[in-house]
Amino acid sequence: MSPVGGRPAPVRTEVRDQTLVITLDRPEARNAVDAAVAAGVAEALDHLDATAELRVGVLTGAGGTFCSGMDLKAFLAGESPMVEGRGLAGLTQRAPEKPLIAAVEGWALAGGFEIALACDLVVAAEDARFGVPEVKRGLVAAAGAALRLPELLPLPIALELLLTGDPVDARRAADLGLVNRVVPTGLALEAALELAARIAANGPLAVAASRRIARASRGWSNEEQWQRQEEVTLPVLLSEDAQEGPRAFAEKRAPRWQGR
């Protein structure tokens, strides 16, 4: 993102092969989300979705912290860390169309945890800590945690996190199913990029359809789920990529995906 007023941009982007790395870069504020961060993340996610060569996004934080949540000082000064229709950091209410992986070092606290929950996958360093301490401040974790944690966890466990505000470490988060992989401290981004490369190697239409079904099907009734799934998968089955995949397998070569 471009610097504003001579200051370094609070969100940096970098292309690694077919992956867009999005870095929250306010280490002096533990990568807390202010208006500039929210706008920067939204712009980066739009770029991810609009660029055919990019297949996956990785979201991380600079300086050994993922994100400490909303910048309370900026909020009290009148700034909003929300983007209209997209939520906190331009992400929590509306995810990008392409897979997004959180690479978490250090704290993912309050809104920072909610940002991680909005991602599709989470890679965490051993020193990572996750928590929603809003109740300790008389607030509610309303940027996604109060909605998503009961979907992802047994209700008593979700309520323990929401009502005590106490954090959990990376291993506990992994045991609960909130984290995909736990890696040595300092290697979260590297491990997330490896995971992103494995996703990017697959057929982009198939990846998009699989993700869409997995995300949307919780709201489908038993009567409609097979019909809704067919609506999503039929264009993939009729695509050129669906011919290329089996052909490449038979010819013992890597597939050349066209995304059509």
**What pLDDT, in 10s, does the model give residues 203-250?**
999 999 999 999 998 889 988 999 999 999 999 999 999 998 999 999
Q: Is 158 found in the same domain as 179? A: yes
> Do the domain assignments include residue 1?
no
What is the residue type of 256?
R
* Predicted local confidence at residue 57, as pLDDT: 98
Q: Is 208 found in the same domain as 176? A: no
Structural domain of 172? 11-200
CA distance 134 to 152: 19
* Predicted local confidence at residue 75, as pLDDT: 79
Domain tally, the chain? 2
* Predicted local confidence at residue 3, as pLDDT: 46
- Among 125, 128, 99, which Cα is nearest to 181's? 125
Q: Is 68 found in the same domain as 29? A: yes
**Residue 72, SS3 per DSSP:** helix
Tokens representing 134 are 């809003």
Candidates 79, 114, 126, 240; catalytic one: 114
* Predicted local confidence at residue 7, as pLDDT: 61
Q: Alpha carbon 190 to chain centroid distance?
A: 16
134 is catalytic: yes
What residues are paired with 58 via a beta bridge?
21, 101
* Predicted local confidence at residue 90, as pLDDT: 95
Taking CA atoms, 203 is separated from 91, 216, 256, in Å, by 25, 20, 9
> Do the domain assignments include residue 259?
no
Phi, psi of 77 (to 5 degrees): -85, 0
CATH number at residue 32: 3.90.226.10
Candidates 97, 105, 126, 134; catalytic one: 134
Q: Write b or e for each residue in 74-91: b if 16 or more Cβ atoms lie within 10 A of its Cβ, otherwise e.
A: bbeeebebbbeebbbbbb
* Predicted local confidence at residue 209, as pLDDT: 95
Which residues in the chain land under pLDDT 50?
1-5
